[in-house]
Structures are given as C-alpha cells and as structure tokens.
Structure 1
Amino acid sequence: MLLNNPADLLRLLAIALLVYPALVAMLRISGKRTLSKLNAFDFVVTVALGSTLATILLSRDVSVVEGILALALLVALQYAVALLAVRWPPSQRLLKARPTVLLRDGRLRLDTMLATRVTESEIRQAARSHGAGDLNDIAAVVLETDGNLSVITQSRIGDGSCLADVRDEGR
C-alpha cells in the first residue's frame, strides 16, 4: 500500500527532471505576468498550470512531450491574452472585471456588496487589517479584480486619482 511499484518512483523522478525545468524556462521567457494574480483570469491560468503539471507527473496516459506542449500552450495563451489587453484596451472589458467601490466616505454600498457577494464583516476585517478603527475614517474600500479588498483612508485619499478606473455606482 505504501509503494505499489518502485519503477513508478523512477518514472516520476525522470518526468519531473524533464518537465519542471521546461516549465521554469517557459515562465522565465514569458515574464512575470504569467504567474501574476492581477485578476481572476490570471489566477485561473496559474491553477491550470499547476493542475497540468500534476497530471503530467502522475498520469501514465500523458506523454512528456504532450505535457510540455500543454504547459507551453497555456503559457502562450496567457501571454497572448495579456498582450491583447495591453495593445487593445477595449479587450479589457471582456478579459477582466473593473474594481468596484464597496464603501465610500464611511458609508457601505449595500447594493454593490450584495451584487459582488461581499459581506459587511469582510469589509470590517479589511479595515481592521489596514489599522482602521472607524469606518468613517475610510475614504474607500475597493473590491479589486483579483478579489482583494483595498482600503484607502481619508488621510491618504489625496486627489482620489487612484480611483479613476474604479466602478463607483453610488456617485
């Protein structure tokens, strides 16, 4: 039960020694953006890369060449989509959600919170994590495209230019 076949360990070792360096090389060539978590699409690609690597390592049905090709295809598609988003800005509307204001000037945006499925408790937690003790001291809480909550205090809002691309349905 602990070890079905010692040859399986050698197979796993051999495949890992071939596939892992290939994946590292692809990621280095494609740049930092490939493994970023800037939005949900980027996160899904990262998970897909991990899942594909696990399948290559553990499945006898996938050859090393097929596995490396699958990894290369995921990396190339991620690179192409990121390039499209940079070169043709209208594509961003299809590829990623806009950040959304959930709290503005100490007031919760309940309709927006309901639509984005974020609770008041989660907003309070983000405020506490940022060191705020009073929601009235907060200029904005933003649900970012990667699912994180950004907190901007009244003392740090400045001219508010960092909110230029944020969906603010309460204004």
Structure 2
Amino acid sequence: MVLTFFESWAGLARVLVNCIIGYACIIMILRVSGKRTLTKLNAFDFVVTIALGSTLATLIVSKEIVLAEGVLAVTLLVALQYLIAAASVRSRMFSRLVKSEPTLLAHDGIFLKEAMRTQRITQEEILAALRAHKVAEIEDAAAVILETDGSISVLPKSRA
C-alpha cells in the first residue's frame, strides 16, 4: 500500500469547488426548509442530520459523485425530513410511528427505577441534570423527564 499525499492540482480544485458550493447549497436548503430541520434532535432528526453530513462529505471528497448529484441528494433528504415532519403534525398515529414519547424518570423526589432501566439512564445522570437545572436534591424535583430529543428536563417542586 502506497500513501499518496498529492495527486494533482485538479483534484484539489475539485474538492475546493465542491466544498464551497456544497456548503453554500446545504446552508441555503436548510434555511429554506425552516427551523424544524434545525431543532433539537429526536431520533428521526438525528438520522437525517447524520445522512446530510455523510452526503456532504461524500460530495466533497468522492471523485465518483458530481456536484449536481450531491446537491440533489441533500435536497431530497431535507425534503423527506420535511414531509415526515408535516405528516407527523397532521397524524398522531404517524407521529407515534416516527417519534418517541417523553419518559418520566422521577416523580415527587422518587427515582422511577424501571423507567430509568428501560431508558438506560443512571441515577448519576439524573443528579447531573438536577444540578444543571439548579435543583440541589432529588427531593426538590416534582418531575424529571427524559425528552424525545434525549435531553433531561427537571420541574422543581417550587415551580410545578
């Protein structure tokens, strides 16, 4: 196996042009598609984001993919994400199919061990979330919820 650090100026120019145009196109497509594409990620949005990144990376470095094909792929991924999001807004059944539900992890200062085990959340992670929300003890929390985007919300007893 031979390591090649430089092949040609034309190859570097192709990467430069594809990177600049691909980046500009993805920014423009994301702006047109609306804020929903850039929200906190649930599992479905996460998959789309990874696919977008992979598609853009392939467009930039692969000699087999031309610019128009890469831009079309990015546009299709964003359009599919838009259609799935629109369908989930219109249909509760469809929404349940593509999105998870929030999970109660603690209630009135009591850890819900079964929910924690099912969601693979440790007590230490919940305590860290409490500290991040400026709640000193689990007893001071009315509820601790694992949100659909993977973040942990804390409702203090004083505000609940």
TM-score bracket, normalised by the shorter chain, equals: over 0.9
1:154 corresponds in structure 2 to 157
- Count matched residues: 157
1:23 corresponds in structure 2 to 26
Give the residue type in structure 1 aligned to 2:129.
Answer: A
Once the two structures are superposed, the pairs formed by residues 1-171 of structure 1 within 5 Å of their partners are 2-157=5-160
The answer to which of 18-27 and 77-86 deviates more is 18-27
Give the residue type in structure 1 aligned to 2:32.
Answer: I
- Taking the aligned partners of 1:113 and 1:33, their CA distance within structure 2 comes to 29
The answer to which of 41-50 and 137-146 deviates more is 41-50
Deviations, residues 141-166 of structure 1 (Å, cap 9, x unaligned): 10000101001100011xxxxxxxxx
Report the alpha carbon displacement of residue 134 of structure 1 after superposing the two structures with TM. Answer: 1.3
Deviations, residues 82-141 of structure 1 (Å, cap 9, x unaligned): 100111222111010000000000000001100010001100111111111111000011
Identity %: 48
- Taking the aligned partners of 1:101 and 1:131, their CA distance within structure 2 comes to 19
Output the aligned Cα RMSD: 1.3
Report the alpha carbon displacement of residue 38 of structure 1 after superposing the two structures with TM. Answer: 4.0
Give the TM-score, by structure 1 length: 0.87
- Taking the aligned partners of 2:106 and 2:56, their CA distance within structure 1 comes to 40
